[in-house]
Structure 1
Amino acid sequence: MYRAKRAALSPKVKRRVGKYELGRTIGEGTFAKVRFAKNTETMEPVAIKILDKEKVQKLRLVEQIRREICTMKLIKHPNVVRLHEVMGSKARIFIVLEYITGGELFDTIYTNGRLKEEEARKYFQQLINAVDYCHSRGVYHRDLKLENLLLDAAGNLKVSDFGLSALTEQVKADGLLHTTCGTPNYVAPEVIEDRGYDGAAADIWSCGVILFILLAGFLPFEDENIIALYKKISEAQFTCPSWFSTGAKKLITRILDPNPATRITIPQILEDPWFKKGFKPPVFDDKYETSFDDVYAAFGDSEDQHVKEETEHKPTSMNAFELISLNQGLNLDNLFEAKEEHKRETRFTSQCPPKEIISKIAEAARPLGFDIQKKNYKMRMENPKAGRKGNLNVATEVFQVAPSLHVVELKKAKGDTLEFQMFYRSLSTQLKDVVWKCGGEVEDNSTVA
């Protein structure tokens, strides 16, 4: 739980790791956070997943994570987010990943609703291609969901977080996974029932849920009562909408089979008539060579092999390059346009000093029941009262665009998206003196990124 700290915190803000200049935080979890970065030698944008060595060591996951990172370096599939390299400092592990600019498939469905069958089939074909490739190399995802499916600039699917399952799960002596994880609506019955499960069969079930959502625009299994939800999943209680084609219905029914022993397998999916229609095999790029030297150096104790972390004493700056990368479709107008869509992050501009911005947001959030934790130009706000999907947790950061202009980002780290939007609307009414005024009007600026 995040609570305000009375002690003064260090003003240092880490800005650079080796040849990478770090930008804003674009994702955060229990064990790791993900930051946007750019390679200062090539100017290539990347995403860097940052792990805390101490946390990993306490859970005795060092060897497992090292093995899985080595495995991930061997995964070179056009529909899987590529792992470029691994670096280490005394306290952290830095996993450098391909940065995908097209956003999440989740946002496409949330904003525009269901897809046409041809488009849904294309994404499903790419998903199955990626999953099949990884399974053939002994790598399982175990948390497949729309939020982990990204789109590149060309509109092709990219599966993220493939292979790093050690952060959430461990294998017991019987060789089966037992930890119930993942988003409840997507998990297979055998995962929920904790009777031990095969990672491949569980991934296939999640793929079936994803296909249903792409075609329907909503989940096949949904209930506010978690026990009722689990019952629906365990008994495969779902109904295909009338607009589903016969072929799609047949395939989904075979995938969403509650018995993993009779559930359709990937080789069988690849031979399904509905799946095969318009199928295009993936095109592989073999130009990348694989080396594991960086992995062993990152996890080692030798300071000679550690990457250098540099610090600055000011808010993270945001240059034009990052502003462009911040937005889908490279549309800078979106940064300053009001949107009514239900997004999981929002931004506004302000001409106030960064410390004042953080303080004003904290003052507005406390009466709404939120606990506050500040650190430099970042802040965490958490509602101790659980909502529909647990405690709402909001990450806030201030970026400097110009000496007197800042972009303020509020991102839902945990909890329900609609509850986040309701919170932001309540919060924004208290921030009229902070949000940048243009032409006498307050701009309430939500982004589409």
Structure 2
Amino acid sequence: MTSFNVKSEDSEKTIVCDDMSPSEWDAEEILRTHSYPESHQLVIHRGVKVTLPPQILAAYTIHSKLASGTFGSVFYGEEKSTRRPVAIKIVEASMTKTISYNGIKIPKEAALLQKIPSHPNIIALIEWAEAYEKHWILVFEYHGFGRDRLKFTLRHYLRNVAKSRGKRGLTENKVKKIMRQLLSACHHLEKHGIYHCDLKLDNIVVDTEGNLKLIDFGLAVEGEKGRGRIGSIFPPEMYDHYIPYELSTAQIWVLGTVFYQLFEAAKPYHEERVKSKALGRVMFSRHNRPSNECVELIDWMLKTEPTHRPQSVSRVIEHCWFMCA
């Protein structure tokens, strides 16, 4: 594993890139949509004009920006031939994990998504291309509320539903529907040795029926061990920087945090308490306290010691709370 420093506006960031064996990848499939084209149209990403490849311009119309973050911007677009809505992600090459095959760099996010069999709760990658050497362009299926209502993440869904019912969290039945889908997606990834590593409300998109898809695999990894902080929700063991931790049980903590947020619209513990490992049982507001079985499951997922949590996503799915109607 190697690391290097890159400048991002006024701050310096260290980006870690994984050295991966080319034999693990189907080269023909991965390189299927790869090219180094001349280009024509400009799109603004974080104040920078990005020149798009001609095959992207020929196939898609870009309408408006959906989101913008440290590593990339996402635009709402349509496939010209079918009018199918798509999400077009533009990420800076210098801040993107890549793998190499025969001297060609491939964005790791694209490689992982092409390796994973399709799943109804994981966003589908349609194609990808390079905008010369400075940016990657990734085209995904669009899943959300449509062009006129672009606020489509689980955070927005939680806020809108809670506002309509006059309480800050969702009902237990709605939470169960969401968690079943999220756990199904994570179980599918886990079966193929992949961990998302940035699970949070903002990386889950929802449609008007409450059907969700997991997005943004920019920090996803293969393997069972992690070191240091990954993502934005940290279990206690992530603060032990020099001790490798099990990604499976770290993921259970993160899923437990998201689980809790669906009821309370807030994290279960303040960061300082997590860091010091001074945790107790999770607390719920009186107006929105779920059933005892549900509280028991969340408390199990948020145990301080990783060995005391469910050891896999499948163990969570098998809990009696999910067996109830």
Query: Please, which of 9, 20, 38 is the counterpart of residue 78 of structure 2?
Result: 38
- AA aligned opposite 1:70: A
Structure 1 residues 49 and 245: CA distance shift in structure 2, 3 A: same
Query: Please, which of 167, 171, 175 is the counterpart of residue 120 of structure 1?
Result: 175
Query: Please, which of 249, 256, 265 is the counterpart of residue 302 of structure 2?
Result: 256
Q: Residues 50 and 131 of structure 2 are in contact (CA less than 8 Å); yes or no, is this contact kept in structure 1?
A: no
Residue 190 of structure 1: aligned partner = 237
Give the Cα–Cα distance (whole angstroms) in 2 for the partners of residues 177 and 139 of structure 1. Answer: 12
Gaps of 5+ in 1: 4-9, 279-449
Offset of residue 277 of structure 1? 2.0
Residue 230 of structure 1: aligned partner = 275
Give the Cα–Cα distance (whole angstroms) in 2 for the partners of residues 65 and 258 of structure 1. Answer: 38
Query: Please, which of 291, 309, 313 is the counterpart of residue 266 of structure 1?
Result: 313
Q: Residues 236 and 256 of structure 1 are in contact (CA less than 8 Å); yes or no, is this contact kept in structure 2?
A: no
Q: Residues 235 and 274 of structure 2 are in contact (CA less than 8 Å); yes or no, is this contact kept in structure 1?
A: no
Larger RCO: 1 or 2 (CA < 8 Å, sep 6+): 1
Structure richer in strand, relative to its length: 2
Query: Please, which of 68, 71, 84 is the counterpart of residue 112 of structure 2?
Result: 71
Residue 33 of structure 2: aligned partner = none
After TM superposition, the score normalised by the length of structure 2 is 0.70
Give the Cα–Cα distance (whole angstroms) in 2 for the partners of residues 160 and 126 of structure 1. Answer: 13
Query: Please, which of 216, 239, 252 is the counterpart of residue 204 of structure 1?
Result: 252
**Tell me, what secondary structure is at the counterpart of 2:307?**
coil
- AA aligned opposite 1:122: K
Q: Residues 178 and 210 of structure 2 are in contact (CA less than 8 Å); yes or no, is this contact kept in structure 1?
A: no
Structure 1 residues 200 and 250: CA distance shift in structure 2, 3 A: same
Structure 1 residues 189 and 40: CA distance shift in structure 2, 3 A: same
Query: Please, which of 98, 102, 111 is the counterpart of residue 61 of structure 1?
Result: 98
Give the Cα–Cα distance (whole angstroms) in 2 for the partners of residues 277 and 259 of structure 1. Answer: 28
Q: How does 1:169-180 map to 2 (within 5 A)?
A: 176-180=225-229
- AA aligned opposite 1:257: K
Gaps of 5+ in 2: 1-7, 11-46, 146-151, 163-167
Q: Residues 104 and 151 of structure 1 are in contact (CA less than 8 Å); yes or no, is this contact kept in structure 2?
A: yes
Give the Cα–Cα distance (whole angstroms) in 1 for the partners of residues 188 and 48 of structure 2. Answer: 46
Structure 1 residues 271 and 18: CA distance shift in structure 2, 3 A: same
Q: Deviations over 1:420-443 (max 9, x none)?
A: xxxxxxxxxxxxxxxxxxxxxxxx
After TM superposition, the score normalised by the length of structure 1 is 0.52
Q: Deviations over 1:282-324 (max 9, x none)?
A: xxxxxxxxxxxxxxxxxxxxxxxxxxxxxxxxxxxxxxxxxxx
In the alignment of these two chains, the number of paired residues is: 257
Give the Cα–Cα distance (whole angstroms) in 2 for the partners of residues 234 and 136 of structure 1. Answer: 33
Give the Cα–Cα distance (whole angstroms) in 2 for the partners of residues 11 and 165 of structure 1. Answer: 23
Q: Residues 170 and 179 of structure 1 are in contact (CA less than 8 Å); yes or no, is this contact kept in structure 2?
A: no
Q: How does 1:284-363 map to 2 (within 5 A)?
A: none
- AA aligned opposite 1:211: F
Larger Rg: 1
Offset of residue 135 of structure 1? 0.9
Structure 1 residues 75 and 18: CA distance shift in structure 2, 3 A: farther
Offset of residue 67 of structure 1? 4.8
Give the Cα–Cα distance (whole angstroms) in 2 for the partners of residues 65 and 192 of structure 1. Answer: 31
